[in-house]
Structure 1
């Protein structure tokens, strides 16, 4: 997908982000000088070995915790807490069990004064259709499969039309077949909506399949090792030589 003019302000800027925690053994540097941009409309994945600080970085970008140093900005404005410009999707679905599919999707819209009830219903139905859950509007989470629950979580994140969709291993809890289906559906939604997506994953194959660029992190402390362009035409097939080349390059960087 084409992105906006890179000379303009990036959708997301992570600039010199560091994070230090105190422990019984002394200070622990979880992140050190993490710096990269995400342009509007880009799909960027973050990968790295266990303990490299991917989830910590996710929480800082999401405004769920503050960096020790450095800044995160969205469209030039500093991120200092969760807000409507950030749509969050986690591995755990975090759906309200007492709310229907439509009730979960529309939750964020109920917190705004700018959307009346008629527009809210229209928007909810539009998103339910977008994620392929037409006919399940009145179902409760207990009646849904894992893949369907994650579709609800995605629709809920999109409901307030955020500038950034931030996803933390969202398909890590589903089986391989469902994962592939959700990946394909996410790419369709990304193409249709033009959203900027920052996607944290431990799955290198998933990163090659989805991303325009992949941020590879190293650990001790967590830092950016390299940013790799994935210049393969979509749809991408695991059996293609170019796919295998990118996969091996990312794997080698992670294992160094």
Structure 2
């Protein structure tokens, strides 16, 4: 890992006018994510996780503070940020291959290179043979694999994921978690992953950023020092799980 963080969240605050007066959604949020690191963001409902995600992604502006990606200030969405949401946001009129290749088309990548990249990514996310399929014919888990492949297609410096497995059943979720860890290991991507699921955070993350609310702030950052693959039945897993749960509650 390089000494310069891939992501620097520097003293982010977000205030807005509510029905009963000013609301402080975030106050003085700061943390770094190293190159190649997998960091999960957890916290209670209303702590500003999604607001912070949108600010890091350049989809929303902070009242004060700044976000830096590779030392450059994030001013808006760009190709260095790959976004995956709970809702799949696939284009229903485009096939799997065309959805995955969308960002490459916008970057004017030559067709032959684009097709090879798309084929490789479809294989990576376990959807070989589904390139000509439309989203309406895919399960929720398959749609999320397409969304992940599309985010990876432009080779972003940071993969930002907001509750990406929140809409699938427990069995599919477990499978997608394992597949994501495999892809992370294979690609060396930096991942910032927002979740409300403490077990998911302990299973996936190198570090867990635990947020508190009123206003949203960093409560504690927990280093998860367990070898992968991790099992809920391990004593160490249970200890981290309980520690993070206690911090949230």
For structure 1, which runs of at least 5 residues remain unmatched after alignment?
A: none
CA distance in 1, matches of 2:241, 2:29: 23
1:25 CA drift (Å): 1.2
| Corresponding position of 1:25 | 20
Which residues of 2 match residues 121-200 of structure 1 at below 5 A? 121-200=115-194
Aligned residues: 249
Matching of residue 60 in structure 1 with residue 58 in structure 2: no
How far apart, CA to CA, are the structure 2 residues paired with 1:193 and 1:9?
A: 19
From 68, 72, 85, the equivalent of 1:73 is 68
TM-score, normalized by length of structure 2? Answer: 0.99
> Aligned residue for 1:16?
11
For 1:223 and 1:245, locate their aligned partners in 2 and report how far apart those are by CA, in whole Å.
23
For each residue in 1:198-233, what CA deviation from the matched residue of structure 2 results, as whole angstroms up to 9, or x when unmatched? 000000000000000000000000000000000000
**Corresponding residue of 2:105:** 110
Residue 24 of structure 1 and its aligned partner are, at CA, apart by 2.5
2:236 to 236, 242, 251: 242
Cα deviations across residues 40-72 of structure 1 (Å, max 9, x unaligned)?
A: 000000000000000000000000010000000
Cross-structure match for 1:83: 78
SS in 1 for 2:164: coil
Q: Helix, strand or coil: the match of 2:60?
A: coil
State the secondary structure of the residue aligned to 1:247: helix
SS of residue in 2 equivalent to 1:66: coil
Gaps of at least 5 residues in structure 2 are none
CA distance in 1, matches of 2:107, 2:89: 20
**Distance between the aligned counterparts of 1:211 and 1:22, measured in 2?**
34
- Partners of 1:13 and 1:20 lie apart in 2 by 20
**Counterpart of 1:14 in 2: which secondary structure?**
strand
1:147 Cα deviation from its structure 2 partner: 0.1
Residue 50 of structure 1 is matched in structure 2 by: 45
SS in 2 for 1:13: strand
The separation in 2 between residues aligned to 1:43 and 1:228, in whole angstroms, is 12
- How far apart are the structure 1 equivalents of 2:101 and 2:137? 18
Structure 1 residue 9: deviation in Å?
Answer: 1.4
Q: CA deviation at 1:26?
A: 1.1
TM-score for the superposition, normalised by structure 1: 0.97
Following the alignment from structure 1 to structure 2, what is the Cα–Cα distance between the partners of residues 199 and 103?
A: 26
